[in-house]
Chains A and B, each alone.
Chain A
Amino acid sequence: MRVKPMKSLLTMVIVLLAAGIILAALASVQPVKAQNPVSDDEVNAVAKQLYCPVCENTPLDVCPTQACKDWREMIRQQLIQGWTEEQVKDYFVANYGPRVLAQPPAKGFSALVWVLPVIGLAGGGLLLWQLLRRWQHRPPAAGSDFSLIAGPRSCSRGRDPARSGVTGPAPGPPW
């Protein structure tokens, strides 16, 4: 008699377990959604970092042509297969060249695009610094006297505009 309750308990457990497994299996089979497993936003996040290989200067996420739509679909398929962002970008570069990247890589010749503006700015800054120092070499006392003596034109500018408050142009015709 003791075996029966044990048996029925076991049966119940097995049934419940089986039901549980079946339910779990059913739950994981989602109904087909209108959305793809990889969302448009995820595709665009990658496409944003790429430029259309054909049309000039158009980012891939906004390019309206059919070719670009196909490329975005291709990215979606690659993402579904589990590719990383880097892998997708590498694939595009390998097939279409480095111009397909929105941001020039910071190595090789392309590094120059980043380096030169910095050099230019620094060089300009250095020049400015030198100029300011050179112009600033006199003691203030000699300076103020000197500027009044210097040349005829400075006399006509003798009035300090900051004090008088009138900073309009010298009277004359508007044109």
Chain B
Amino acid sequence: MAQTFPLEGEAPSQQSGFLRNYWRGLAVALVVALLALLGWGLQAQAGDPVEAGAAPDFSLTTFEGETITLSELKGQVVIINFWASWCPPCREEAPYLEATWRKYKDQGVVFLGVDYVDAKPNALAYLDEFDITYPNGPDIAQRIAKAYRIKGVPETFYIDKRGQVRGVQIGPLYPPTLDDKIDELLAD
């Protein structure tokens, strides 16, 4: 900027002169960009669990070493249950889940247990304690949890025969909720 010697009687205006138009524009643009970024981020965090639409596909490697892919289960009703060994409400619904599994396992229903942020020994002990026989595997790096946007555990997702999500249960399941839902999806 040219060095101007201010005339007598004229107050210096360095500050307003300095903030030329493009600096102002830049400042506003930055602020708007920041707000947009914040808004986007906050909104992304506020998403609810997947309740409808195509069920996000995933592969789960069970504790026994078997790999199951969701898309290969089309034609069957799939119940995806997110749990963790440190989660007390999960323990409440565990017997009910296992009992329902045993009831429906030969009718074209698959139960998948997804272990969320857990330690293997604790998980195996939990499965042992409730004598759970349906496939369970750890959710490595929480990929599946993020895909289904779970907010916590336990959460149970109902997938119909065409691979569509048909609802979610947030919190523990009590009889006869799961039985009714499976009957509904089997009759579809």
- Residues of A that sit less than 8 Å from B by CB: 53-54, 65-67, 70-71, 74, 94-97, 131, 134-135, 137-138, 142, 146, 149-151
Contact = CB atoms under 8 A, between A and B. Distances in A.
B142 A142 contact: no
Nearest to B88: A66
A70 B117 contact: no
Contacts of A146: 6, 8
B33 interface: no
Contacts of B1: 134
Given A67-B86, A94-B141, A149 B121 contact: no
Contact of B142 (A65, A70, A97, A134): A97
Contacts, number: 45
Given A71-B119, A74-B121, A134-B18, A94 B86 contact: no
B41 interface: no
Given A96-B141, A150-B6, 9 more contacts: A54-B84, A67-B85, A67-B122, A74-B121, A94-B141, A95-B138, A134-B14, A146-B6, A150-B11
Top 9 nearest A-B pairs by Cβ distance?
Answer: A67-B86, A151-B11, A53-B117, A97-B141, A137-B3, A150-B11, A74-B119, A54-B117, A70-B122
10 contacts: A67-B85, A95-B138, A95-B140, A96-B142, A97-B142, A134-B1, A135-B14, A137-B3, A138-B5, A150-B9
Contacts of A74: 119, 121
Contacts of A138: 5
Interface in B136-172: 138, 140-142
Interface residues of B, dominant DSSP? loop
B27 to A, nearest CB: 11
Given A53-B117, A94-B140, A94-B141, A149 B9 contact: yes
The residue among A67, A74, A151 with the most chain B CB atoms within 10 A of its own CB is A67
A97 B139 CA distance: 11
B25 interface: no
Contacts of B18: 131, 134
Interface string B89-132: 00000000000000000000000000001010110000000000
A150 B3 contact: no
Contacts of B121: 74
A96 B117 contact: yes
A146 B11 CA distance: 9
A171 to B, nearest CB: 27
A128 to B, nearest CB: 12
B12 interface: yes
A39 to B, nearest CB: 21
A110 B94 CA distance: 39
Contacts of A67: 84-86, 122
Nearest to B140: A95
A95 B141 contact: yes
A172 B119 CA distance: 68
A168 B26 CA distance: 39
Interface in B6-57: 6, 8-12, 14, 18
Contact of A54 (B14, B86, B141): B86
A53 B5 CA distance: 63
